[in-house]
Structure 1
Amino acid sequence: MTMTGTRSTQPPRLAALGDIFRDSQLQLALAMFAAMAVLGILLRPALPIDETRYLTVAWEMRTGHDWLVPHLNGNAYSDKPPLLFWLINLVWLVTGPSEIAARLVAPVFGLLTILATAQLGARLYPAQPELGGRAALILSSSLGFSLYAGLTMFDSMLALATVLGVLALSSISDGRGVQARPWLLLGVALAFGGLAKGPVILLHLMPVTLTTLMWKRIPARNLAKGVAIALLTGVGIVSLWLVPTLARSGGEYREAILWTQSAGRVVQSFAHQRPVWYLLATLPLLLWPWAWSPTVWREARFPQPLPVWIGATLIIFSLISGKQAHYLLPVLPAFALAFAPALASARRGAPLAAMVPAAAAVLLLAVVAGVGPHTLAIAADPLPMALLVTGTMIVVALMLARGGLPVCVAAPLVVVSLSCLFLGRMGEAYDATPMARRIAPHDQDGIGLVDGRYHGQFGFAGRLRDPLTLLDSAADGAAWLQACPGRILIGPVDNGPGLPSDTVDFRGETWGTWLPRSSDQINSKGGAKCR
């Protein structure tokens, strides 16, 4: 639909979804990523602090019946919008509060990102639509996407929103009329990204949007109208959640959601501060093994809007003080699309340089075997089968990286190998479930945390329904503990009030549990709830 009657030159028609699904390389990409994501979920526990925190926020949304304002430990959680938590709870309506079901939600968006990348590739290379499937294969087999898109985080959703936004922009014709449909679809992508991770979606899509003036050669007036349509659509959809949320929330939450968690992070991040070069240094690892091949770079192409998409993302996010490697997940599809012409077949050997990350994995295996610094002893006592499986898969990945077999399976094998490490002591140390089960019987009477650093590690794992009490010092913890016979105090042993009743290894630290000292109090029955 156009807003004027002016005839325009239409872009090449997007390949039908059924045709794209028939691409064997896309099928391989989807199957490979799905298998790797499911294996990762089965092999390792939900990782603290990020995965456990998001599962706990979803759990508190379910138990607190507050679908507008997410909560963590009973307090409003303003760090992220609610879309992921909504979707997890939607799945739980069918499965019940299953950890596996909840952890499958985010990887689904990884699959959809692979599919959307294939569609965008068919649009950007109309004379070679098969390059879409190749781009999908490169994306699913890059180390960064293999590692992060399978985790319960927001970045796979943001990556999908970014690709869908670029896909909408690529369908704009270069005529004089203002086409409403692409701009409406862009608005939907902005809303999806906004509900997934907040206003950061604007940093990914607006540079590409504003430069359509050049790469689509549309008049500035039409660009302004189109941007207005997209922004009004996006803001309108997000407002369906934001307006009632702000109306019922307090001033602190309003400030956080409107400023601190968006512009505030750009001006001065309060977490994950890194040097300006951090993302550029991380990027080669995220793009392993493809970016390590000089041949891939020689044969790569950068049709519009890939240069703007890549360049603007790297510059903007490098200038922001808070940086994490997974922040670059939404730009990895752009690199995959650029590298697609170099993938003449799925049987391209990687250069010697591509062996470096895999060699690092072998060094990690040596640490697991007990050869390495004493501080890394957390990984030194795995089950023999875990050691055998991990070593075998890493060796296979090394062989594939230099051999004639498909190099596309090298990075997924490394990721699965690393997941296998959690079958042993490492899995026990990073699993929040043992501590959560230990403290769950004290939920009604009171659970205290003595060091105050609580990120929801135990809320979902223990199916806790009451908030933990956060205490500043060992003395405060001891006084709080003795006030009620049914209470339990937890925290790192070094921060606790004396010798603990029991200890648990958790994330490289020894955590203790403390019970009231009086055995009469501990054994008393039928007392009133005393939080």
Structure 2
Amino acid sequence: MKTITYALALVGLWALYYVIPIEYRLLWQPDETRYAEISRGLLASGDWVVPHFLGIRYFEKPIAGYWINSLGQWIFGHSNFAVRAGVLFSSTLTACLVAWISWRIWRDKRTALLAAVIYLSCLLVYGVGTYAVLDPMLALWLTLGMCSFWYAAESESVTKKVIGYVILGVACGMGVMTKGFLALAVPVISVLPWVAEKKQWKSLLIFGPLAVLSAAAVTLPWALTIAEREPTFWHYFFWVEHIQRFAQEEAQHRAPFWYYLPVFLLGALPWLGFLPGALYRGWCDRKENSGLIYLLGWVIMPLLFFSLAKGKLLTYILPCYAPLAALLAHHALRAASEGAKALRANAVINMLFGFIGLLAVLLVLAPHSLAHYPLFTLQESGKVLVAATIFFAWLLVGFLSFTRPHKRWFYASLCPLALALLIGFAIPDRVVNAKQPQAVLKLVDAELQASRYVLSNSVGVASAIAWELQRDDIFLYSSRGELEWGLQFEDSAERFVSEEAFPAWLAAHRQQGNISLMLLLDSDDRTTIHALPTPDRVYQQGRFAVIEYYSR
């Protein structure tokens, strides 16, 4: 396969996977609606220092990720594409860095381009890289840091070493300002195996302070400014968001040590068949090419680090896939030239994945299936067909690869194509009506626009309302959620209304105009609605209910 073919495949894959479909997918709550609204609020307020969510102090993350998201909305306007533009930009640049470091290690254009293709088509990379969260941005800064360290390490010129370490510090500093101190820990532990293997401690000690100084130069202006304006920020961000989340027994998202193993394997689809050989070949050939031990350390050390943490989310291991893509590309090309069994093995794995997914849709998720409570309803036969098509296409591409593995092994990059283009049309109504509030908001937009006060019992739903209406004065009803810390401040306390206080609050405030509540109900029941004062109008769709009280 010629280099130009890889280049065209890379551009086409990027457009089909990362550009064309993302405008037409509804935003998910709570993550995407949260980051959409925080960044919209930043643009509206002009406060580029203190993060606010629904106009309330929000100290869970630093500021740089919101800067990137805000630029997306500033350039592309009020759209779903704009909300996801930041992760699209970050994933694209990370793929370019993956190609760069692959070229620097092997000096082979095909390996470099294929590494970028593999990175962008890995299931976990694609899933997170088109979803508006901060992890792809952190992955970008970590990948830039690792690439700059490698640039410095393989350079003999002192000037180039200085440049490499300075860029490393800048990348780490931006990582800290995007998601916190993990951006300092992950690069350090990732380079340790290579430094120990090559005995580069002296060079690290000589030039390392440059990275520290450049990281400080990047972070200190904002860090000192927010400390002056909001003295409680660093206490909350360090102790609650780092120590408690990752180490203490009450850490969020607790999971066992082995949690990331199945996630890591599934995330490597549709290239999973090459994974064992890529890791084994990297280990066996590490003496011949020191870049291999560098990539292996970059994969394994963060994976172990996050596995040891008490709190776990599948997005945390995204930075492991940049070096993994390089290893996979190198091994896949070697396997293709040698006619290795891995070519067929990868095709078989993709066929099995597509077949199992197809059976799951038809026998478990669809109406009249074996499940007592199927995910799809009788009215959603079209969505069932789309979901089945996604997995059938994956199966078909795997089969085509299997029939001529030596010629078609790279077809694996097309396995997720139907998923990328069609997934937005296959989401069951039951999921849409619980996790994607935009569908309901479009139906009740006029009513909410006419309301003087809008409340919600879910922070995720409240953020969706705020983003759609382009107003941040949404009140929280019954539950404070992740805004509990911010609501403790005196100037924000009034933004929460408890169930007990609501009748009196309603009587006092409906004189100023209409009042609307958009509630996220538990399991489609109406118990919460019945506990409220008698409304003037109720609209319910799935787990979303909009309750209106007219002005009196």
Tell which deviates more after alignment, 128-137 or 410-419: 410-419
Distance in 1 (CA, whole Å) between partners of 2:173 and 2:509 is 48
More helix by share: 2
Are the structure 2 counterparts of residues 24 and 317 from structure 1 closer, same or farther at C-alpha, using a change threshold of 3 Å? same
1:354 paired residue number: 350
* 8 Å CA contact retained: 2:350, 2:394: no
Change (3 A) 1:468 1:248: same
Q: 1: CA distance between counterparts of 2:440 and 2:182? A: 35
Corresponding residue number in structure 2 for 1:505: 541
Q: Which moved further from structure 2: 173-182 or 193-202?
A: 173-182
1:242 aligns with 2:275: no
Confirm whether residue 315 of structure 1 aligns to residue 307 of structure 2: no
Q: Give the TM-score normalised by the residue count of structure 2.
A: 0.80
Q: Counterparts of 1:113 and 1:504 in 2: how far apart (Å)?
A: 43
Q: Is the 8 A contact 1:386 1:423 kept in 2?
A: yes
Say yes or no: does 1:258 pair with 2:211: no
Measured against aligned partners, the alpha-carbon deviations of 1:464-504 in whole angstroms (never above 9, x if no partner) come to 23131333554433332233222223322433325763233
Q: CA offset at residue 273 of structure 1?
A: 1.2
Cα gap change, 1:227/1:260 in structure 2, threshold over 3 Å: closer, same or farther?
farther
Instruction: Check whether the contact 1:474–1:495 (CA below 8 A) recurs between aligned residues.
Output: no
Return the match for 2:467 from 449, 460, 473: 460
User: Is 1:72 equivalent to 2:53 in the alignment?
Assistant: yes
In the superposition, the TM-score normalised over structure 1's length comes to: 0.83
Shift of 1:22: 6.8
**Shift in Å, 1:307:** 2.0
CA contact (8 A) 2:384 2:426 kept: yes
Equivalent of 2:145, from 156, 160, 165? 165
Query: Which amino acid is the alignment partner of residue 513 of structure 1?
Result: V
Distance 2:245 2:450 in 1: 35
Distance in 2 between residues matched to 1:462 and 1:88, nearest whole Å: 18
The answer (yes or no) to whether the contact 1:142–1:289 under 8 Å persists in 2 is yes
Alignment match, 2:416: 411
Q: Distance in 1 between matches of 2:400 and 2:230?
A: 59
Q: Does 1:494 align with 2:527?
A: yes
1:455 to 1:445, Cα distance in 2 relative to 1, 3 A: closer
1:398 CA drift (Å): 0.5
Counterparts of 2:221 and 2:374, CA distance in 1 = 48
Distance 1:67 1:360, change over 3 A: farther
Cα deviation code 1:35-67 (max 9, x no counterpart): 112344133201111111110111221233221
Larger deviation, residues 383-392 vs 75-84: 383-392
Partner secondary structure for residue 69 of structure 2: helix
Amino acid at match of 1:119: W
Check if 1:339 corresponds to 2:323. no
Structure 1 residue 124: Cα displacement = 1.4
Measure how far apart 1:295 and its partner are. 7.5
Match of 1:180 among 144, 162, 167: 162
1:476 equivalent in alignment to 2:501 = yes
State how far apart, in whole Å, the 2-side matches of 1:242 and 1:441 are: 38
Is structure 2 residue 208 aligned with structure 1 residue 208? no
Is the 2:25–2:424 Cα contact (8 Å) retained in structure 1? yes
CA distance in 1 between counterparts of 2:528 and 2:251 reads 24
| CA distance in 2 between partners of 1:240 and 1:298 (Å) | 42
CA offset at residue 113 of structure 1? 1.1
Report the equivalent of 2:179. 197
**d(CA) in 1 for partners of 2:11, 2:316:** 22
Q: Which structure 2 residue ranges, 5 or more long, are not aligned?
A: 284-291, 402-407, 480-497
- Counterpart residue number, 2:487: none
Within-5 A mapping of 1:259-274: 259-268=239-248, 270-274=251-255
Return the alpha-carbon distance in structure 2 between the equivalents of residues 57 and 276 of structure 1.
33
Q: Is the 8 A contact 2:135 2:316 kept in 1?
A: yes
Worse overlay, 154-163 or 52-61: 154-163
Gaps of 5+ in 1: 1-20, 517-521, 525-531
Provide Cα deviations, 1:186-220, integer angstroms capped at 9, x if missing partner.
112112222222211123211134445335543x3
User: Structure 1 203/295 Cα, relative in aligned 2: closer, same or farther at 3 Å?
Assistant: closer
Q: Which digits, 9 at most, give the CA deviation of each residue in 1:73-119, with x for residues without a partner?
A: 22211222222322232233344333322222211211111111011
Q: Closer, same or farther in 2 for the Cα pair 1:326/1:118, shift >3 Å?
A: same
- Any idea what the Cα deviations from partners look like across 1:301-344, whole Å, max 9, x if unmatched? 35120221122111100011111111111101111111112323
